[in-house]
Amino acid sequence: MVQDTRLTETAEEVSQIAFGFMASKALFAGLHIDVFTMLADGPKSSKDISEDAGIPVNRVTTLMTALTSIGLVDREEQEEIYSNSPGADAFLAKGAKYEFGDYLRFQIDKQMYPFLGQLNDVIDGSLDADAIDSYQHWMADPDQALTYCKAQHAGSLGPGRTLARLVDLKNAQTLLDVGGGTGAMSIRLLEAHPKLSATIIDFPNVAEIGWQFISEAGMVDRIRYIPSNALVAEWPKEQDAILMSYLFSGIPGEEVPRLVEYAFNCLAPGGTFMVHDFMVENDRSGPPMAALWQLQHMAFTPAARSVTPGWLRARLLDAGFKDIEENEMIPGLTRLLRARKPE
C-alpha cells in the first residue's frame, strides 16, 4: 500500500472529485467570454461584464459566482464587483507573459474534454469502429489538426524554454525531433544553440501548419520537415541529438521499446537522446496531473501505456544507452530523461 497518498474518507471528498468537471467548465466559460482579460484592466461589476460580453446579466452573475467559489476571481463584499485572482491575472488574461488561456480554451475544452466521453468505451472494449483511436486518425482532419496545433504550439513554448536550459547541445549540429509537431521545442533549442539545425517528423497536416510558426520564428533555413507518420517513416541517421516530446503517451505502448532502439541506431556515437513526457512515479502513486493526462491519452489511444521513469530507464539501458539523467520539466506533470549513446 502506498503510504503517502491521502485516501478519501467523506462523501464531500468523493463529491468534489465527481463534480470537478463543473469547475473546469466554469473556467472554460470564463475564457470563452474573455472575462479574465476584461478584469485585467481593473475590477468590474456584473453589469459592466454583461455589457462588454453582450450576454444577459443573470448569466454573468451565475458564472462569476462559480468563478469566485473556485478562487479564480474575487468579489467585493456587499457589492457585485469582481477582480481577477493573481493566478487568473498571470495565466488567463490575454497579453500576460505566461498566459495559456487559448491552450485551455481550444485544445483542452474543445478537443481533449470531449475525448473523455469515449473513455468508458475504451476501457470496456466497446469503442465504435469509427471513433478516433490514434493521433494519425485525429490529425487526418485538417480542422482538428489546426485547432490542436495552434494550442499545442502555444502550450509548448514554455516547456521548450525549460528544455533548452536543461540540456547542453553546444557541440551538436543536427537534431531529429520525432513527432515534433509545429516545432515549438525545436525552435527553443535552436534559439539557444545557433549552430544547431533540426529535422521534424510529423503528419502532413501538422507539417503544413508548422511551417507558419517556423517562418514566424525566422528559422526556415534551419528546420526541415519529413511529412510522415513517425512510427513508419525512415529517420535520418548519424544525428547528434534526438528528441521525443509528448510522443510515448500518445502511441501504442508496444511501440516504445522499438522507437528507443531506433533512436539509438540513428544517433551518432556520443549523441544525446531526450524523452519528455507525462510520467507517473515508479510506485504509481501519482502525481495526479500526470496520471490523469495518461488516462486522457488512453481515451483516444486505447493501446497507450502509462509510463514511469523507471520503466523507461530500463528500456534505455536495454537499447545500449549510458549516462541516463532525469529531471522534472513541468512540476507534477512531465519529466525529462536524457541519455547518451556511447562513443
Domain boundary residue, one of 36, 69, 99: 99
Number of domains making up the chain: 2
How many percent of the chain have pLDDT more than 90? 87
- Classify residue 254: in a domain, yes or no: yes
Considering the domain architecture, whether residues 26 and 142 belong to the same structural domain is answered as no
In a domain, 6, yes or no: no
- Give yes or no: residues 115 and 67 share one domain: no
Express as a percent the part of the chain with pLDDT over 70: 99
Task: For residues 230 and 200, state if they share a domain.
Answer: yes
Co-location of 199 and 232 in the same domain: yes
Same domain? For 136 and 95 the reply is: no
Does 117 share its domain with 187?
Answer: yes
List the CATH number of the domain containing 52. Answer: 1.10.10.10
Kindly state whether residue 2 falls inside one of the protein's structural domains.
no
Cβ count near 273 (within 10 Å): 24
Do 69 and 136 lie in one domain? The reply is no
Among residues 42, 75, 99, the one where a domain terminates is 99
Residues 93, 39 contacting (CB under 8 angstroms):
yes
What's the confidence (pLDDT) of residue 78?
Answer: 75
- Does residue 64 surpass a pLDDT of 80? yes
- Are 259 and 153 part of one and the same domain? yes
User: Is 104 within the bounds of a domain?
Assistant: no
319, pLDDT greater than 70: yes
- For residue 166, give the CATH number of its domain: 3.40.50.150
Looking at the fold, whether 167 and 312 belong to one and the same domain comes out as yes
The pLDDT score that the predictor gives to residue 97 is 86
In this structure, of 80-84, 131-135, 198-202, the range with the lowest mean pLDDT score is: 131-135
Please state, rounded to an integer, the average pLDDT across all residues of the chain.
Answer: 94
Q: What is the mean pLDDT of residues 24-41?
A: 97
116/178 same-domain check:
yes
Give CA–CA dist 244/24, Å, rounded.
29
Cα separation of 336 and 244, whole Å? 10
pLDDT for the residue 79: 81
Of 44, 68, 99, the one marking the end of a domain is: 99
Contact predicate 231/198, CB 8 Å: no
pLDDT bin (cut points 50, 70, 90) of residue 5 is: low
Higher pLDDT, residue 238 or 158: 238
Instruction: Compute the distance between CA of residue 65 and CA of residue 141 in angstroms, rounded to an integer.
Output: 38
Domain identity same for 91 and 224: no
In terms of Cα–Cα distance, which of 59, 84, 90 is closest to 71? 84
Q: Considering the domain boundaries, does residue 1 fall inside one?
A: no
Q: In the predicted model, is pLDDT for residue 191 greater than 70? A: yes
Between 151 and 247, name the one with better pLDDT: 247
State whether 226 and 248 are in the same domain. yes
316 CB burial (10 A radius; 0-12, 13-18, 19+): buried
pTM for the full predicted model: 0.90
- Structural domain harbouring 42: 11-99
Amino acid found at 289:
M
Reported for 3-12, long-range contacts at CB under 8 A and 24+ positions apart, including other chains, are 4/285, 5/285, 5/286
4 found inside a domain? no
Cα gap 69→26, rounded to integer Å: 10
